[in-house]
Structure 1
Amino acid sequence: MRRQLLFVLALLIEGGFLSAQTLPDRRETLKVLIKVNDYFMKKYADYTRPSYVGKFRPSNIWTRGVYYEGLMALHTIYPRSDYYDYAYDWADFHKWGLRGGNTTRNADDHCCGQAYIELYKISPESDKIKNIKATMDMLVNTPQVNDWTWIDAIQMGMPIFAQLGKLIGEQKYYDKMWQMYSCSRNSIGGGLFNQKEGLWWRDANFVPPYKEPNGKNCFWSRGNGWVYTALTRVLNEIPANESHRKEYVTDFMAMSKALKACQREDGFWNVSLHDESNYGGKEASGTSLFVYGMAWGVRNGLLDKQEYLPVIIKAWNALVKECVHPNGFLGYVQGSGKEPKDSQPVTYKSVPDFEDYGVGCFLLAGTEIYKLD
């Protein structure tokens, strides 16, 4: 009998079952987060420098905003002073402002406001949120609700409404957030959320009759990651009795189920969630965002730990083992775009056109992994 038990145990270990169930060591998780972030901060020490990809863009655009979301998350578990200084000095250089000023309706311009608000929470000074609040108030006080025509925008702008609603205590931010989210979900392109499949079309150009080469719907990994992250960040902020919390939870749960079903055997997700033949392969940014959301869901009791923890750990272990270079560079990050074919090939050594958001996604994921117990 003892020999049989040992044999079964050996098979489980060989098959990775037990290792997939074991939480990563917190010290090792923090170590890899520090390494990846230190690489980025060293390479981009001049936070004032604009990026140049076809044209110059200031360093407070969405790509850098996502990075600072990750950095501020890392700061919550490891509050190094240089992390705070790097974020504060960046925001202060931009005068806590937005590309396009306070009348911009472009969510890509709003994204930096998420970090501004987190910095305000650490040291409340009105100048830090004056501009982002003015911009969100402009959205609240105008009738348009159809600004988020592409699903990336949901992550760039939606959590700010939740942050301000909690910070200021005014329902108007929650109401406008729901109106804009609902428009993207149910109206734009006939509704960008496929409720039957639990996933999102990137924009109206990808709804049927558009199909992937294998004949299935086109669900882009990182695009769905943006929505999943937005829901995570919103649910983390809004009160339990917020009038639309139930709908956000329902969508989060539907996405979780759909994402779990299409995880690759190696732990990653393909850039095309339902067509591995269309530029299939490992991809770090979407995978990181799914880890972030699922880990948060388990930690907050929305997702069943026994069911989802193996998915999460398998994905995180794959990211750490396959993507992180010895010097902290993050491989397998798809560059900017809107569909599987963009910024290909995605490889271990390929450098994306913007490195910042991939690092931000990884930091968000790792911070939630660190918090699991």
Structure 2
Amino acid sequence: MESKMGGPEAYALINQNISTMKKYFLFVAMLTAIATQAQQTLIPKKTTLDALTKTNQYFMEKWPDTGKEIVLNKTWPSNIWTRGVYYEGLMALYCVDPKKPYYDYAVQWGEKHHWNLRNGIKTRNADDQDCGQTYIDLYLVDKKPERIANIKASIDTMLKTAKIDDWHWIDAIQMAMPVMARLGKIYKDTAYYHRMYEMYEWTKNGLYNKEEHLWWRDKDFIPPYKEPNGQNCYWSRGNGWVLAALLRTMEQLPQNSPYYKIFLNDFKEMSAALLPLQREDGFWNASLRDPGNYGGKELTGTSLFVYGITWGIRKGYLDKKTYYPVVVKAWNALVKDCVHDNGMLGYVQSTGKQPSDGQPVTFDKIPDFEDYGLGCFLLAGSEIYKLK
């Protein structure tokens, strides 16, 4: 049936419909903009710095003696890797908020241990060498030779041999590769770069899945080992160590180094693989590919991913439009859900090598060591603080 309406009445109706449609689309666009803005609103810089200050103060007050042994099921010296990771975070905080007590606290730690490594300079164990990252950073502030002598001697001893299979677990990459990169830069000696790459490549050839772009923690988790849902077992914190190691190494490595491009490619591949694995609440599960296997909020892996991805955004290596909402969601969640009123951090998985270790992970549970979780948090927050 043809409409009997014509002339001015028809035009009025058409104009009314167009006006209604314009209002509708404007309303939809406004809602979309609001949603996008909400998704991408990072907590204020002051809130970030307050969280870093509070959590660090909690630890410094709990451990006023930087040389005090750590007594758990056994006694540990306080220059083990867990404490080394904390001081990496402290130095990152010092870079964005250069308070003298932070520097003094780190120097006292080095002095209490005579700038030495657990098990001495003959050790090849990456965990023993992790303290060297902070020793070297403190040397760069005040070039006292004793600060760098022992860590240099330890690495130099390794370079005198052809052995490259020391890093048989992926955590080791973060503990030692940035040490070698620092020494290479300071002494302008590419031998450090060559050896660290050889060792990295040896580990990568055995533990990196070049199809899924994630790492098995060690040979125990290579297939046929599977998670309960049939997926490969990729431990969150272990992959976080590698992502952190890559950026901490690239920070020291000349961009024209033949290895820089390789490290950057691996960094980008990992970052892209992590993107779809983020939980709705902003965290990553301890088991990256099986949310049903000890799934839940976990600080250490999430913090290391925030640290790495944020650095990638800042450097222009990762697309900001794609990755910025990811770190915003994660960092906001870390500050909101993990920081106790007294500065203690919750949802920290204890030491281990797989998703099941240290379970359950809860807000109120104190992990076996409190230091490395804080170190991861400080690394992430300090990098977030640098974002423009």
- The question of a shared fold, defined as TM-score above 0.5 by the shorter chain, is answered with yes
Aligned counterpart for 1:159 among listed residues 175, 178, 195: 178
Q: How does 1:95-134 map to 2 (within 5 A)?
A: 95-134=114-153
TM-aligned CA deviation for residue 140 of structure 1? 1.1
State the match for 2:14 in structure 1: none
Q: Note if contact 2:117-2:128 (Cα within 8 Å) is conserved in structure 1.
A: yes
- 8 Å CA contact retained: 2:121, 2:151: yes
Distance 1:2 1:297 in 2: 40
Q: Report if aligned partners of 2:213, 2:273 keep a CA contact under 8 Å in 1.
A: yes
In structure 2, what is the Cα distance between the partners aligned to 1:118 and 1:125? 11
> CA 1:325–1:2 in 2, change beyond 3 Å: closer, same or farther?
farther
2:112 and 2:121 map into 1 onto residues whose CA distance is 17
- Matching of residues 198-217 of structure 1 within 5 Å: 198-217=213-232
Contact preservation (8 Å) 2:127, 2:176: yes
Q: Which runs of 4+ in 1 moved over 4 A?
A: none
> Contact between 2:42 and 2:332, CA under 8 Å: does it hold in 1?
no
* Residue 8 of structure 1: how far off its partner (Å): 4.4
Q: CA deviation at 1:313?
A: 0.5
| Cα distance in 1, alignment partners of residues 301 and 355 from structure 2 | 11
Distance 1:276 1:223 in 2: 16
3-state SS of 1:74 partner: helix
Deviations 1:262-286 (A, max 9, x none): 1111110000000011100000000
Rg larger for: 2
Q: How many residues are paired up?
A: 367
Give the counterpart of 1:31 among 29, 50, 53: 50
Q: 2:156 aligned with 1:137, yes or no?
A: yes
For residues 22-62 of structure 1, give each alpha carbon's deviation from its aligned partner in whole angstroms, at most 9, with x where no partner exists: 23321221111101111111111121111123211100000
Cα offset for 1:96? Answer: 0.2
Tell me which amino acid in the other structure corresponds to 2:54: K
Indicate the residue corresponding to 1:169 in structure 2: 188
Q: 2: distance between equivalents of 1:121 and 1:19?
A: 41
Q: Partner of 1:19 in structure 2?
A: 38
d(CA) in 2 for partners of 1:233, 1:287: 17
Alignment of 1:297-336 (within 5 A): 297-336=312-351
Q: 1:5 aligns with which of 22, 26, 46?
A: 26
State the distance in 2 between where 1:6 and 1:334 align.
45
The equivalences for 1:1-373 within 5 A come to: 1-2=22-23, 4-6=25-27, 8-10=29-31, 13=34, 15=35, 17-186=36-205, 191-373=206-388
CA distance in 2, matches of 1:324, 1:3: 42
**Cα deviation, residue 71, structure 1:** 0.2
- In structure 1, the residue corresponding to 2:308 is in which secondary structure? helix
Question: What SS class does the counterpart of residue 102 from structure 1 fall into?
Answer: coil
- Kept after mapping to 1: 8 A contact 2:247/2:308: yes
2:13 alignment partner in structure 1: none
CA deviation after TM superposition for structure 1 residue 91, in Å: 0.5
Counterpart-to-counterpart distance in 1, 2:262 and 2:312: 15
Q: What CA distance in whole angstroms lies between the structure 1 residues aligned with 2:27 and 2:344?
A: 40
2-structure distance, mates of 1:347, 1:5: 44
Q: Give the C-alpha shift of residue 312 in structure 1.
A: 0.7
Q: Which letter maps to 1:256? A: S
Q: Which amino acid aligns with 1:325?
A: H
After TM superposition, give the deviation of residue 167 of structure 1 in Å: 1.1
Q: Distance in 1 between matches of 2:370 and 2:90?
A: 14
Other structure's SS at 1:329 match: coil
- Offset at 1:344? 0.5
* Alignment partners' CA distance in 1, 2:200 and 2:136: 21
Q: TM-score, normalised by structure 2?
A: 0.93
8 A contact 2:347–2:362 mirrored in 1: yes
Contact 2:51 2:335 survives alignment (8 Å): yes
Q: Which runs of 5+ in 2 are unaligned?
A: 1-21
Identical residues among aligned pairs (%):
56
TM-score scaled by length of structure 1: 0.96
The separation in 2 between residues aligned to 1:156 and 1:29, in whole angstroms, is 26
SS of residue paired to 2:148 = helix
Question: 1:2 offset after TM fit, Å?
Answer: 5.0
1:158-194 deviation per Cα after TM superposition (whole angstroms, max 9, x unaligned): 10011111111100000000010011011xxxx1000
